[in-house]
Amino acid sequence: MKILGIETSCDETGVAVYDTADGLRAHAVYSQIALHAQYGGVVPELASRDHVRKTLPLIRQTLAEAGLSTTDIDGIAYTAGPGLVGALLVGAGVARSLAWSLDVPAIAVHHMEGHLLAPLMDDAEQRAALHAGRAPEPFVALLVSGGHTQLVGVDGIGRYRLLGETLDDAAGEAFDKTAKLMGLPYPGGPQLAALAGQGRPGAFKFSRPMTDRPGLDFSFSGLKTQVLLAWRDSDQSETTRADIARAFEDAVVDTLAIKCARALDATGFRRLVVSGGVGANLRLREKLHELAARRGAIVGFPPPVLCTDNGAMIAFAGALRLQAGQHEDLGVHVAPRWDM
């Protein structure tokens, strides 16, 4: 089955073709970062309009790269939520209309389920097992994006248990806001991480929120305030900015790692997968590799380009749902808020 995936939930237009026999055939992501940068954040109406401009050209480009035409497509998966309602409606409208005209099924995918399953797409053995109808080895998923920070116990496809989540800011949001308050341009998360690479470990020290009590929930908004105070009272030099970035990153990464270890203990699972934009963070990857090695566990990350928003993860999750026999009516439904 060849599935076209369309992602338009926020500020990235993502399109991909996923083949249940051969894996990912082609994918393309167009980022609207430059469009929103001047406003310091995503402007929903501009996002929708840009998706309108980009979705069809990206579909053409992706099909050409895969050496396929529309008539080769067996189904279309699209992100139906959560996300910006206007942006979601663009992808849903295109997906539904195209599916109707090609007489193939369209399937609504939960954005976070896309992130959650993305690491399995990159694992040939797991992929083959899933398409043969076998359940994956149960795993703990750490979903860390700009909008979510969740630990989920995955007992099978569609069988998800929320183990813990953030009570305020998401990890990526904390990266972005912290970067902003130290004067880095939007979106600051990846830039803050790059700066942290130049900082001296231990020059500043921030807390590891909510690790001194049991439980798997997170809270990152207090860290932001700690950075604000440290930055305000400092000499605000380049060196200090890098040192503070390093201390902030260490605090977030340590906190995530401590909770991942607890989640593995709580579930008894031996497998951890990490996804969402913050999963691209190199120090988080290092730390979780160390943690897994110490415990004889396995940790999996999708390649960084599949950690951030993309159409491939939507095509993959949609393929699994279509293979499981899921069908939908012709209506265009989106859900800006939607529990997984």
Binding residues: 111, 115, 143-147, 176, 189, 281, 309
| Identity of the residue, 105 or 147, whose beta carbon is nearer to ligand KG4 in the bound complex | 147
248 touches ligand KG4 by CB under 6 A: no
Selection from ligand KG4, Zn ion, none that 190 binds (CB < 5 to 8 A by kind) is ligand KG4
8 touches ligand KG4 by CB under 6 A: no
Q: Give residue number: closest CB to ligand KG4.
A: 189
Encoded tokens for 283:
């120090």
Binding to ligand KG4 in span 138-177, by CB under 6 A? 145-147, 172-173, 175-176
Encoded tokens for 260:
């991942």
Minimum CB distance to ligand KG4, residue 70 (Å): 28
Looking at residue 313, its amino acid is M
- Judged by CB under 6 A, which of 117, 163, 308, 311 binds ligand KG4? 308
Quote the strand ranges of 68-167, DSSP E: 75-81, 106-110, 139-144, 149-156, 159-165
The DSSP secondary structure of 12-78, one letter per residue, reads EEEEEEEETTTEEEEEEEEE-HHHHHTTTS--HHHHHHHHHHHHHHHHHHHHHHHT--GGG--EEEE
Piece in contact with ligand KG4 (CB under 6 A), picked from 92-100, 186-194, 200-208, 216-224: 186-194
Piece in contact with Zn ion (CB under 5 A), picked from 86-94, 192-200, 265-273, 306-314: 306-314
- Going across the sheet that includes 298-300, the strands are 159-165, 149-156, 139-144, 271-275, 298-300
280 touches ligand KG4 by CB under 6 A: yes
Minimum CB distance to Zn ion, residue 276 (Å): 6
How many angstroms separate the Cα of 224 from the Cα of each of 122, 164, 167, 180, 287?
34, 21, 14, 10, 22
145 touches Zn ion by CB under 5 A: yes
Burial class for 205, CB neighbours closer than 10 Å (0-12, 13-18, 19+): exposed
189 touches ligand KG4 by CB under 6 A: yes
Size of the site for ligand KG4 (CB under 6 A): 19
Minimum CB distance to ligand KG4, residue 34 (Å): 16
Binding residues for substrate: 143-147, 176, 189, 281
| Identity of the residue, 9 or 226, whose beta carbon is nearer to Zn ion in the bound complex | 9
DSSP assignment letter at 301: -
| Identity of the residue, 249 or 309, whose beta carbon is nearer to Zn ion in the bound complex | 309
Phi, psi of 66 (to 5 degrees): -80, -5
| Identity of the residue, 85 or 298, whose beta carbon is nearer to Zn ion in the bound complex | 85
| Identity of the residue, 75 or 86, whose beta carbon is nearer to ligand KG4 in the bound complex | 86
193 touches ligand KG4 by CB under 6 A: yes
The contacts of residue 6 (CB under 8 Å, 6+ apart) are: 14, 15, 55, 59, 76, 77, 78, 79, 91, 94, 95, 311, 314
310 touches Zn ion by CB under 5 A: no
309 touches Zn ion by CB under 5 A: yes
Neighbours of 101 (CB within 10 A): 9
Residues that bind ligand KG4 (CB under 6 A): 10, 145-147, 172-173, 175-176, 187, 189-190, 193, 276-278, 280-281, 308-309
Residues that bind Zn ion (CB under 5 A): 145, 309
